[in-house]
Amino acid sequence: MTIFLNGCPLRCLYCHNPDTFLMRDGEPVEVDEILRRIRRYRNVFKATGGGITLSGGEVLMQPAFAGRILAGAKAMGIHTCIDTSGYLGQHASDEMLGNIDLVLLDVKSGDEKTYKQVTGRELAPTIAFGDRLAAKGIETWVRFVLVPGLTDDPQNVENVARIVERWRPVVSRVEVLPFHQMGTDKWDALKLEYKLRDTRPPEPELVESTRDIFRAHGFTVH
């Protein structure tokens, strides 16, 4: 079960959920209601090996709310995961991290200038959060979005791989995600300027050569 939270401090050029940028655009819901919904699926999770993922937006924009959901799910014996950029990693308390089984960590660039261009923010907080996850031994899947003409420079990819090497003991996989245009309609509906309208998805050869860079660093790559 994936639960999408509204609110995000980043403005990624390729975001496919721009409708989650602003917290006020979300649907108000109580923690107890979310936990009731989760409880109904306990047997499904047990049978399938599934669990819950908190995504967004940015889950760490609402740390108290997210923390209560994670604690409640763990108390039911359900696997927990968060999908985050790590930019607000300082909002995650040690108690919250103790209730997280898996983190999907988006490393959007290995180069400071490119990271700023992609997100409007700085890279350092993501690295600091990854360092915390590694120190606490929390399993991490690193995600990198491959955008032709934006994040695909081999040196940028190499820089991402070197950052991820810091967390090697906890990184069980690296996912190279090819850029797509599936969020375009949302940008248009929200009357937001979409700067990647003319960018095409990467060719299979580029995707594979990018994955090869991470493989060369010894990572399991998808």
Q: What is the model's pLDDT at position 86?
A: 98
Chain segment 117-143, per-residue pLDDT in tens: 999 999 999 999 999 999 999 999 999
On whether the 2-216 domain is CATH 3.20.20.70, my answer is yes
Q: What is the model's pLDDT at position 50?
A: 95
Q: Rounded to whole angstroms, how far apart are CA atoms 205 and 147?
A: 13
If you ran DSSP here, which 8-state letter would residue 21 be given? S
Chain segment 169-200, per-residue pLDDT in tens: 999 999 999 999 999 999 999 999 999 999 99
Chain segment 29-81, per-residue pLDDT in tens: 999 999 999 999 999 999 999 999 999 999 999 999 999 999 999 999 999 99
If you ran DSSP here, which 8-state letter would residue 221 be given? B
pTM of structure? 0.96
Q: What is the model's pLDDT at position 120?
A: 97
Q: Output the CA torsion sign for 115, 121, 122, 127.
A: negative
Q: What are the DSSP E strand ranges found in 6-159?
A: 51-56, 79-84, 102-106, 139-146
Q: What is the model's pLDDT at position 186?
A: 95
Q: At what angle do helices 63-75 and 31-40 cross, to 10 degrees?
A: 30
Please state the domain extents for the chain: 2-216
Q: Do the Cβ atoms of 85 and 59 come closer than 8 Å?
A: no
Chain segment 80-100, per-residue pLDDT in tens: 999 999 999 999 999 999 999
Peptide linkage before 57 cis (omega within 30 of 0):
yes
Q: What is the model's pLDDT at position 33?
A: 97
Q: What is the model's pLDDT at position 126?
A: 98
> What count of Cα atoms within 13 Å lies in the side-chain half-sphere of residue 45?
19
